[in-house]
Structure formats: C-alpha cells, structure tokens
A and B are shown apart, each in its own frame.
Chain A
Amino acid sequence: MQPTVAILLVDDQPRNLDVLESILESPEYELVRAQSAEQALLELLHREFAAIVLDIKMPGISGLELAQIIKKRRRTENIPILFLTAHLIEEQDVLRGYGAGAVDYLSKPINPDILRSKVAVFIDLYRKNRALAEVNRQLQSEVDKREKAQEELRQANERLESRVHERTEDLTLANHALRDSEQRVRLLLESVGEGIFGIDHSGAATFVNPAAAALLGYTPEELITAHLGRLLEVPPPQSPASNDDGPAVQPPHHFTRKDGSRIPVEFVRTPVRNEHGQITGEVVVFRDLTPRERAARRLAAEHAVTKVLATAESLPAAAPDVLARLCEALDVSASKMWIIENDHVRCTHCHILDDSDPDLAAFRAGALGSNIPRGRGLSGKVALTGRPEWFGRLGSMSGMPWVDKAIAAGLHSALGFPVLDGDRVEAIITMYSKDPSPPDESLVAMMGAIGREMGAFVRRTRAETELRAHREQLEELVQQRTGALERSHDRLRQAERLATVGTLAAGLGHDMSNLLLPIRARLHSLAESGLNESALGDVAAIGEAAGYLQRLASGLRLLAVDPDRNVERNTGTNLHTWWRDVEGVFRSALPRGVRLEGGCPEGLPAVGIAASRLTQAVFNLVQNAGEAIAGAARRESDQGSIRIHARPLHNEPDSVELIIEDDGPGMPTEVAARCFEPYFSTKTRAVSTGMGLAMVRAWVEQAGGGVNLATAPGKGTRFMLVLRPLSTAAPSAAEIHSPPAHAAITLQDKRTVSFVTVLIEAAQATAVHWDQDGVPEAELWVVGGASATPERLAAFLAHDSARRVVVIEDLSPGGRPAREAGQITDPRVAYIGAKPKANQLRAALAHAIGRPSHRAPAETEDSGVVVMSTSRAEATQQ
C-alpha cells in the first residue's frame, strides 16, 4: 500500500471544504483543511503536502496571492496547485503564468471526477517525484561516498607526494653540500701554498696537489704515477696496526726536485685509516723553506752590509767587505762595484765567491778596471736610471768585454743597483748569478734599501771628512791664533820694554838738551865777551864737544821716535849728517871690545828713507852684529869690529848702498835663508821678538830699496842696504801734488796771519800778504770770509785748476758766512770757521797744500811716548 500523502484544501467556505473532503476522501490521502490564506501558510510551515487545492476567491489574501507566496518559497515552490475558479474563461490567462504541470485549474461547479482525476495526477506526480528524489538521494549518497573515498585517496596521494618531494629536496641539498665540500677541498688542495700528497701503505702516490707538483718541479700526472715515498725519501707510513694517530711533525728534510736541485722542507704526516681503524696510508703536507731561508739570508746580507759600513771609513774601503757579504749571503757567484767617472763607469772592485774557480777568477781579472759608457751595459744603465736593473741573459749581450768570461764561468743573470745619496748615484753594485731566474720583488727592494744605506754612508763619510777637515783647519787656526797671541804677547812685552827704552832715550835726550842749552848759552856769552885767542880756542873746543853731545841727543831722539807715529816730514836723508848724529848712540850701545868703524862720506845723494827709520834699521843690524861678535868671542878685549860704509850704487848713481858688515861668527845657511821671516829667531822669546830683521827689510823696502845678505859660518855677516833717492821711493799721499811755491794771505787777524805764514813757510813755500782788490798771483790763497766774494774766488780759481783757497770766516756782526753767501761749492775751496783752532787751521792748510791731515789731538796725545820697534836684543845671528 502506498503511504498516505497530505493534501491541503483551502477555501473560505467550510461547505466548499466539506465538498472537497467528500470528493477526495481516500485512505491514501490525508486531507487538511484551511479556511484562509494565513491558515494555509501556517499549515505549509508545519508539514509537507503533496498538492494544494485552492479557491481563487477568498477574502483577504486571495487564492492567487497565496499561490504567488507559495511559489516564491523554495520549500513549497514545487507543490502542485489546483485552482478552483468560478469563471473559467476569465481566469485562464492568469493561471497560465504558473507553468505547466505545477498548476492546474478547475471551474466551478466542481466535477468530482475531474477533481479526483486532477488531484490523482498531482499525487502521482508527487509520488513519482518522491520516488525519484529517493533514488536520487540514494544515488547522491553513493556518489558522495565515492567522492569521499576519492578525496581521501587524493589526500593520501598528496601526502605521499609531499614526502617524496621533501626527501628529494633533502637529497638535492645533501648533494649540493657534498659537491661544494668536494669543490672546497679541491680548491683548498689546489690553492694552498703547501704541497700536499697522499701515499698508500706502499709509498705510491694516491693524490698530489698542484702546489706539491710545482714545488717539486713535476706535473701532477708525473707524480701520481711515481713512487713518492722513494722519490722524496719519505719514510714509509706506520704499520697498519699502529695506534698512533693525528699529524706528526717531521724534522727538517730536503726533497729532491725533478731538476736534481734540493729544496729545504718541513712537513707533517697524518695517517689515513680505513673503517676498521687500520692505517692504509698517509697524507703528507710539506712547505718549501727556500723563501724563508732566502729572506733570512737577505736579512743577514743587509745586516752584514750595515755592520761593514758601521766600521768602514770610506766607500772604497768598505767595498771589498760589502761585495763579499753580498756574495755569501745572496749566494751569487760574483759582485762588482763601479764608480762614475765623467760619462763612464769604472769597475773598481770585484769579488768572486769561489777563488779556486779559474773561470770566475778570469771573470774578475777581466772586470777590474773596465770602463763602460754611461747608459750601456748593466752598470751603465743603472748609473743612468738610478734604479735597480736586471739582465736575464748575459749571453745575449754584446760588446761587454767581460761577457765571454761570464758565460764561461756559467753566469747567466746579473742584478745591478745604485748606491744613492738622495737622487745622486754615487756608485753601482752589480751581482752575477748562475740562476737565470729573475729577481723577486723583495730582493729588488732589499737591493734598493742597501743602496740607499750605502748612499747614506757615503754622505756621512763625506760629511765626516769635511767635518774632520774643518776641525783640522780650526785646530790649525787655533794653533795659528795661539801662536799669534803668544807672539803678540811677546811683542807686547818687548814693546813695553822698548817703550821704556824709548822713553828713557827720549828722556835722556830731553835732559841732555836741558843741560846743553846752558852750556851753549854760556859759550855763546863767552864768545861775545872779548876773550883772547887762546881762550876763544878753548871755547871753540868746548863748543865742539857740546855740539857732539847735541848730536848725540838728536840721535837718541831719532832712535826714540816711533817711525809709524812720529815721522817728521821726509825731505830725504843726508847720510853724512845722519851718521854724524847717530854714530855716538850706536857706538855707546855696543858691547865692550866691539869696535864700530867707517862712516858715510860727504857727497852721497840724499836717500828716500826717513832718518829715524834708517837709524832704527841700522841700529838693529849694529846691535845684532855686536851681540853676535860678543857671544862668539873667547876674550873680552878686542873681540871684533863692525864696519859701516856707504857708496853710490854701481848701476844707479842716485842710489846708495849702505853696508854693515862684521867679522863675527856668520850664519848657517838655514838661518840665513829664514832670518828675514817675521817671528823667526834663534834666540829665546824672552829676549827676541823675531821681528827685527823683518822690520829692517820692511822699512827699507817701503822706502823703495832692498836688503841683501851675504854670510857664512866663520866668515862674518854683511848686510847691504840699497837706499834709493826720494823721487823713486814709494810716493806717499803727501806727495801727490807738490806744495804751492807761493801763497797769498788776505786776513785781518794779525795772529792768524802770522801763524799761517809760519806754517806756509814751514812747508817751504813763500807767503805774501795780499790786501789789494783783484786776485793774487799764487797757488794758495788764504782769505778772510769778508774778502772772499764769489767773484774773487771764481776769478782766482779760474786761472789754474791747481789753485786752492782756504776761506777763514771773519763774521762781522749780522753778516752771513762766506760759505753761504759765496755760493762757491768748488772742492778746491775749503771753509773753516772764524777764530779757528790751530789744528783746524793746520788741517785746512794741509788739505789745501796737499799734505795729509794732521792727527787729531786724541791720537797724538801719547805721541811723546817713543817706541822703538826693534831692540838691541833683536838679532838673528848666533
């Protein structure tokens, strides 16, 4: 039996509802009544209906409005509705809008069969729909199950995939890491400076890094097939059972390279074990000690060079040691030093490492002294560039004389570097090696450093040499100065003594004059007093004696005059009268028993030397001779004689030869050769300045003459003074122009006139008083300012350029000085103030006459102190 289905009957008329129930009464239907739309909606909320029979015409919500509500609701939209209409035709269009099958209509009056039929169709449709829905539901359920299973499968798949993916990634990463690690290890092995190789238990190579191959001079391929243990003399690995583990540092060792050379190494052995812990081989890591040893050697070379330079005195002196140290320390076979000479370099030193090698010895012999132009060859190039230079192939060089010998000695390369003082190349060092490889940077740098150090050494030694020279000069100077000081002390002492002697002489002369004057005065009176002949003869004799004493006094005064300070105007010396004056003084100054003979005859030409100087010069010579004779004499009496004589010079009749000779002991040759040297003396300093003969010569030469000496031991000594006449004597400033022969004086003051007159007459000129208009005929005009009009001065001067004027101002009250009023600025006119001091007047006249100015009072203050520049003690004779 079919399950019951509910049908909703909706009609506002319970009667109609009854009708409908009655028609549709069936055990298959459950009929639910609703009298309003609201009731119907309420029922629809609570249960499911298979169909609805709906009356269109109802109060409130109509059947159509209800139907629209039902159709809008999803839960009820498929419920078939059967409308009950009153007017079939009117409502047909409205109903059409609800779609076929879901809605139908039935016009009133209701045909029960149609109603039942229509409802039955609806119910059947409902039931089929329900059945289909059930099938669908079941099918859907199955589909859901299937989908669920599929989903689970998919998820399982995905998880699996994910895990696989993760695993794959891990693997890839591990793979990469492994590859990186291998790469690193490979790079490490390839790039480390240390040589690394593996050997198996038998000593065969298992791997070799490039550094190991390079250090040993093989290719890696050559080594990998070699028996490394034997090749390198590495002891075999430990036995497999050894428990020793970890790296073992080995003592220093040498590996033999492919070319046979041996390199110093230090190496570490590390055993390699299999999974059972047995030793299957080992890894050997080794390091080439050559660079380290080389650096040590270079350091030693630098040190050695520094040490050599520290004690050497010069670069040439240091060169042999420096070159030897370089050869030894740098293991080069030969080294040379070159110096620069003009445009060449010359090899001054060469050192070879092995003297017993004949080829090297020949190389050295050929190198020493060889010259190379600047810029050529290694040394020439270094000389030019001032930088270290390297020649790799000596054999390729031509024109170098020693190249063949270098090749014969097996030398392949050469390194040269400069000895530099700043930028200046002082020398060049070259080194020759059997090793053809170029020098590394550190070697070049070291050579540069050594070169600079040697340059600094050169500079230092040069400075030291200069300093030494300066010091020696200084010491010499100090000695000279000390000597000079001592001598000047001696001279001072001597001068003081001489000054005393001079003062004594002057005082003696003065006192003698004081006494002689009364004697002469009395003789004068006696001669006037009418004596008889005999008495007059006595007076004359006494007068003669007084005259002699008077001359003696004059001689003393001459001797006492300082020739540099107090020389009287030298008008020439008459030797005859000079001798008369000085003879007594000379004679009295001689030791007892020494005779003074000879003299100067009359008629000799006057000589240019001043009398005082001549006196002192001859006094020196006479004193020397006297002392020499006395010193050498055996007996006191009649020891010897000094002879003075004068004669006209043979070739120059105007000149005179004054000879002072003695029969004393004479001089040895070496003394005679030096006796005119200043400060030379054979006597102790206490009694001699050593200046006596030097001054004699100086005085005579200053006067235009000369001194000759003839002497020999045992033969006496003869000095010959050549005395020239005044005209040929060196002209003094005083004699630049001759004194005026005539002077005119136009002055008011009588005293001044008189003084000027006296002075002018003293200058051996005549003076006349000029008080007329116009200008005087004279060479000098001494004129008062009032008379010195510009016109008169100009007129006077215009006459002759040699004319001079001295204007003495004689101001009238309110007047202007002539030097202002006159406007004469001619250098030939001298102006002096009114009432001039005597020395001013003399100075002006001296200037005008052409005499040197007199000394200022301060300078002449002590001119009374008489200094004799030489002494009786002064002598160079024995």
Chain B
Amino acid sequence: MTATSPIKVLLVDDNSILAEAMSRVITRDPRFQWVGWLETTNTIVDEVQGKCPSVILMDVDMPGVETFELVRLLAQKCPSAKVVMFSGHIREDFADEALDCGAFGYLHKDDEIDVLLSNLEKVNTGEIVLSPLVKRVMWRA
C-alpha cells in the first residue's frame, strides 16, 4: 500500500446514510480514494468508464436491477474495475453467482470495518475475498 496510488473505490447502494458513512470512512483512509456513490445503476457503465474506480462495492439488493447481470456487464465493459458484492444476506449461493459473474468477492454489511477495508485492498490486487460470515456457510455441516 502506497500513498501515491490509493485505491479508487466506487459504492453502488441505494442507502444514502450508509453511503455517506462509507464515504467518510473511505475518504479518511489514505489507502483509498473515494470516487463516488451511485444510488441507481442507470448510468453505471458511463460512470465507471468516467471515474475509473479500481474497486466497486456493489449492494446485492439494488431496486429493480439484476445486480449479478450488472456485474457480468461491468466485467466485460470495464475489466479494470473489480466488483465486489456488498450484501446483508449470508448466502453462499449468492456468493457463487457473484463469482461466476466475474465479481471478486462477497462481503457482508455486518463485517467489521477493518476487515471490510482490508478485503477491499485484497480485491484491488485481484484476490477473491469472502466475508467471514459467508465463509462459515461455504462449508455446510
């Protein structure tokens, strides 16, 4: 992690309170650069192409949108932006689908802030990340 190349983070979430809080966290962290927040996905390709984020943190539950298909689209159109899902669901099948669509991971909103941020760093290097909560259900008893 170098100060000269902060990781550009874009958030896609319809929850403005969450978005504001996240922007505050990301902005204050020198490892990252907050490039913006999308409340809707209507212009996402243009926005991504314009803002060139390294990592896109994308809510699974965007209203009226099949977010996994969106991930697939972005993987084609904007391969330099690594998408990671940001979800309130502990669902291993969601994680599977996200990975199959080209996402670099599946993070949970209950994750500790520090864990969340370090996972964003990993995504930026091309690693696959999973929320600890989701890891627990990847191997069912």
The digit string for A519-559, where 1 denotes a CB below 8 A from any CB of B, is: 11110110011000000000000000000001001100100
The digit string for B21-64, where 1 denotes a CB below 8 A from any CB of A, is: 11011001000000000000000000000000000000000000
- List B residues 76-90 near A (Cβ within 8 Å): 88-90
Assess whether A762 is in contact with B139, with CB atoms less than 8 Å apart: yes
Given the known interface contacts A517-B109, A566-B137, A763-B139, the answer about A525 and B17 at a Cβ–Cβ threshold of 8 Å is no
- B92 touches which of A524, A763, A849, A860 (Cβ 8 Å): A860
B69 interface residue per 8 A CB criterion: no
A839 interface residue per 8 A CB criterion: yes
Assess whether B28 is in contact with A525, with CB atoms less than 8 Å apart: yes
How far, in angstroms, from A519 to B21 measured CA to CA in the complex? 7
A568 interface residue per 8 A CB criterion: yes
B111 to chain A: closest residue by CB: A517
How far, in angstroms, from A557 to B87 measured CA to CA in the complex? 14
B16 to chain A, nearest CB (A): 9
- B91 touches which of A514, A525, A553, A864 (Cβ 8 Å): A864
How far, in angstroms, from A763 to B135 measured CA to CA in the complex? 8
How far, in angstroms, from A49 to B96 measured CA to CA in the complex? 182
B10 interface residue per 8 A CB criterion: no
Given the known interface contacts A568-B136, A754-B126, the answer about A520 and B113 at a Cβ–Cβ threshold of 8 Å is yes
B136 to chain A, nearest CB (A): 4
Assess whether A610 is in contact with B141, with CB atoms less than 8 Å apart: yes
A829 to chain B, nearest CB (A): 21
B138 interface residue per 8 A CB criterion: yes
**B104 neighbours in A (Cβ, 8 Å):** 751
Assess whether B96 is in contact with A863, with CB atoms less than 8 Å apart: no
**B95 neighbours in A (Cβ, 8 Å):** 838
**B88 neighbours in A (Cβ, 8 Å):** 509-511, 513-514
- B93 touches which of A570, A750, A761, A863 (Cβ 8 Å): A863
**A550 neighbours in B (Cβ, 8 Å):** 110
**A863 neighbours in B (Cβ, 8 Å):** 91, 93
B71 to chain A, nearest CB (A): 13
Assess whether A758 is in contact with B130, with CB atoms less than 8 Å apart: yes
**A759 neighbours in B (Cβ, 8 Å):** 138-139
How far, in angstroms, from A864 to B89 measured CA to CA in the complex? 8
Interface of B, secondary structure class, is helix
B12 interface residue per 8 A CB criterion: no
- List B residues 109-141 near A (Cβ within 8 Å): 109-110, 113-114, 126-130, 135-141
- The stretch that binds B, out of A152-160, A622-630, A850-858, is A850-858
A733 to chain B: closest residue by CB: B141
A422 to chain B, nearest CB (A): 62
Given the known interface contacts A755-B99, A758-B128, the answer about A569 and B22 at a Cβ–Cβ threshold of 8 Å is no
B18 interface residue per 8 A CB criterion: yes
- List A residues 768-824 near B (Cβ within 8 Å): none
How far, in angstroms, from A761 to B92 measured CA to CA in the complex? 15
How far, in angstroms, from A732 to B139 measured CA to CA in the complex? 13
B101 to chain A, nearest CB (A): 10
A528 to chain B: closest residue by CB: B28
How far, in angstroms, from A521 to B37 measured CA to CA in the complex? 16
How far, in angstroms, from A524 to B91 measured CA to CA in the complex? 27
A565 to chain B: closest residue by CB: B140
Assess whether B21 is in contact with A762, with CB atoms less than 8 Å apart: no
How far, in angstroms, from A832 to B81 measured CA to CA in the complex? 29
Assess whether B15 is in contact with A514, with CB atoms less than 8 Å apart: yes
Given the known interface contacts A553-B110, A763-B139, the answer about A525 and B25 at a Cβ–Cβ threshold of 8 Å is yes
A346 to chain B, nearest CB (A): 66
Assess whether B141 is in contact with A524, with CB atoms less than 8 Å apart: no
Assess whether B22 is in contact with A755, with CB atoms less than 8 Å apart: no
- List A residues 342-367 near B (Cβ within 8 Å): none
Assess whether A846 is in contact with B139, with CB atoms less than 8 Å apart: yes
The digit string for A823-865, where 1 denotes a CB below 8 A from any CB of B, is: 0000000000000011100100010010110110100110110
**A842 neighbours in B (Cβ, 8 Å):** 92, 96, 138
The digit string for A14-56, where 1 denotes a CB below 8 A from any CB of B, is: 0000000000000000000000000000000000000000000
A581 to chain B, nearest CB (A): 12
A567 interface residue per 8 A CB criterion: yes
**B127 neighbours in A (Cβ, 8 Å):** 754, 757-758
**B28 neighbours in A (Cβ, 8 Å):** 525, 528-529
List the 3 closest pairs (A to B, CB-CB), nearest first. Answer: A518-B21, A521-B21, A762-B135
Measured CB to CB, the residues of B under 8 A from A are: 15, 17-18, 20-22, 24-25, 28, 88-93, 95-97, 99-100, 104, 108-110, 113-114, 126-130, 135-141
**CB<8 Å pairs between A and B, sample of 29:** A513-B110, A514-B18, A514-B109, A516-B110, A517-B109, A519-B21, A520-B113, A521-B18, A521-B21, A521-B113, A524-B113, A525-B24, A568-B136, A568-B140, A734-B139, A758-B129, A761-B135, A762-B138, A838-B99, A839-B93, A839-B96, A842-B96, A849-B139, A852-B140, A854-B140, A857-B93, A860-B91, A860-B92, A863-B91
Other contacts beyond A515-B18, A758-B128, A855-B140: 4, CB < 8 A: A524-B114, A529-B28, A750-B126, A758-B129
